[in-house]
Amino acid sequence: MTTTEKPQRAAVQETPHHGENPGRIGAGVFNPRQLLTSFPDALRKLHPRHQLANPVMFVVWVGSILVTVFAITDPSVFTVLIAVWLWFTVLFANLAEAVAEGRGKAQAETLRKSKKETVARRLTEDGSEESVPGVDLRVGDLVVVEAGQVIPGDGDVVEGIATVDESAITGESAPVIRESGGDRCAVTGGTTVLSDRIVVKITTRPGESFVDRMIALVEGASRQKTPNEIALTILLATLTIIFLLAVVALQPMAGYSGSQQSVIVLTALLVCLIPTTIGALLSAIGIAGMDRLVQRNVLATSGRAVEAAGDVSTLLLDKTGTITFGNRKATELVPVGQSTPDELARAARLSSLADGTPEGRSIIELIVRDNDLPAEASEDEKLAEFVPFTAQTRMSGIDIGEREVRKGATASVLAWVRDRGGEVPAETERVVDEISGQGGTPLVVAESGPGGTGVRGVIRLSDVVKPGMKERFVELRAMGIKTVMITGDNPLTAKAIAEDAGVDDYLAEAKPEDKMALIRKEQEGGRLVAMTGDGTNDAPALAQSDVGVAMNTGTSAAKEAGNMVDLDSNPTKLIEIVEIGKQLLITRGALTTFSVANDLAKYFAILPAMFAAIYPQLGGLNVMHLATPQSAILSAVIFNALIIVALIPLALRGVRYRPSSASALLRRNLLIYGLGGIATPFLGIWLVDLLVRLIPGMG
């Protein structure tokens, strides 16, 4: 291994998936047919137990029952129509939630079909195999899976390497490599081994597998209200109580003025004044936020995680595979001292013969291309002792006879040379600093043998920043989000790449404890922190961060520590997750603004109609010139119900998010949804009134 970064993640670059996830069926753009298919569920939600969970709609539900009683005992066209449209208001609120849940159930049903009952080949203590049903497996069991067989449960590969078909979970048809050790050992139950043989250690109990949890989440069965959602529910309940008291207090005043109001009119007034629009759509907005994540192959353990993503103000991003392409390439050999380019090339080749990492292979490719040297090891070289890279030595190489060749991190190789009394040419550190300053990674090559010990030269490994990353960071900065690049590179290299990528800060030569310290420092400043990780050593930092996105290719420890799992194992998706979280918060805020503004406009329809007979001056407030007091009240109730249906697509799809500052978002929110919420009822109620006045007795 040649670098201080994690090479196993770079060895197989798993690109973002463009295939269609079977679990995404029905999760795309809003389809009007979903209203019809979800209608039976909406009817079932009329049960009082369900209505009690939403204080605003519970008041409407009680009002509907009350008016229905009057419509039966003392029927009139006005009373019957008010009762019908109050029930439609409750029904449409249920429909919004049912449509959101229905899309999740469609995904869950597809995922259930992907689950297969399997017979596992469990290893016993004496090493023999026994066949047991997959549901009988327990945590810690070792099972053997060979080509063509289905992996019986979630776990980690502890022996062997194999290609695995994960299309049933991720929707991507291209197979992936899973192997023991490193950060690509986790496998998911229900996926199929395509080649070779692996031994899997089961890490989950039956019924708690990755697919089981995914089904529960997309169905909404385990969705709990988030803190912001609970706070908004309390606010809406408080407003409802205030308006209820106001309407109750209105009757004595009306009686004193000689214009006693009926219970039907007071109920209609209450329903139109309380924030029914956002009360009806609140649950659907939360479910749709989870749904948008699932569409992007991200599994969140709770709605709290999605909401936290919207409030994130610091992003910790791994350099390799996130900001830069996963595989660094050797681009130049720089000899130092008395060494010739040919001597450096031969030494670099020997030190890389056993280096199977992408960086090691790229060194061989560079030498073969520019020098007349073979790519394959000779028979004598195959008998040599290869020295693997370790995190402690930070270098690798070969011992062939009395000759020792090493390449690796500058400090480690120079210390190795000096320990043997070797020579370190004066220009070595200058070349290293120059390569690091230009954003490259220097690997020093040294040799020790009968001819002496010394540094031969430096290999330049070049990182390439992914296209478009700088622009993405500019957008994040506009959103008030600080970006921090995490890398194992030395500070000079890290600084150069950070400047090239456009991140706000960087952490060089990062160790797990350094990540933890950085996260805690940011959190102490009141910031919410998000990060990605895939290895066991990332688990503490993932658990500490507010939004921890674990890669599906990573270890079980990482996936358990994080509160989201990216099935595509695409580190750049963290940026999309933050945008989805912000879209959720913006959608909720926009529709709340629209709902409150909506109520303001409805005052001008109902209040003048109620008291115009006593106070003719109020006729000036009848700016819509509605036909009669009864048509005005009925038109307001009908509009109040219809606007819920009209906003269901927006609640499910979400308000379009454009990266900008909080103040700019607030101005846009008030301009579009505040003024829009005031203007829409005037036009809507007026149009409804034109139709209502055609009803006999209402004109």
Annotated binding site for Mg(2+): 534, 538
Residue 201 bridge partners (DSSP): 142, 156
User: One-letter amino acid identity for 480?
Assistant: G
Interatomic CA distance for residues 272 and 82, integer angstroms: 12
Task: Give CA 559 to chain center in angstroms.
Answer: 14
Strand (E) or helix (H) holding 688? helix 675-692
Interatomic CA distance for residues 593 and 586, integer angstroms: 10
Residue in the block written with tokens 């009686």: 255
And the tokens for 52?
Answer: 């009690």
Residue 162 bridge partners (DSSP): 178
Is 514 a residue of the active site?
no
Residues 6+ apart with CB under 8 A from 150: 116, 118, 190, 191, 192, 193
Interatomic CA distance for residues 194 and 243, integer angstroms: 64
Determine how many CB atoms are found less than 10 A away from the CB of residue 601. 22
Sign of the CA dihedral with 99 first, then 302, 515, and 10 last: negative
What count of Cα atoms within 13 Å lies in the side-chain half-sphere of residue 148? 0
Interatomic CA distance for residues 1 and 352, integer angstroms: 9
Catalytic residue among 141, 154, 183, 318: 318
Interatomic CA distance for residues 411 and 419, integer angstroms: 12
Strand (E) or helix (H) holding 268? helix 263-273
Interatomic CA distance for residues 323 and 425, integer angstroms: 34
Contact, 527 vs 546, CB < 8 A?
no
Residues 6+ apart with CB under 8 A from 556: 154, 155, 156, 186, 203
Strand (E) or helix (H) holding 132? strand 129-133
Residue in the block written with tokens 């358990």: 560
Residue in the block written with tokens 């607030």: 666
And the tokens for 397?
Answer: 């190489």
Interatomic CA distance for residues 192 and 91, integer angstroms: 44
Residue count of the chain, please give it. Answer: 699
3-state secondary structure of 186: strand
Write out the binding residues for ATP: 355, 359, 389-396, 407
And the tokens for 402?
Answer: 């009395």
Write out the binding residues: 355, 359, 389-396, 407, 534, 538
Contact, 410 vs 336, CB < 8 A?
no
- Catalytic site residues? 318
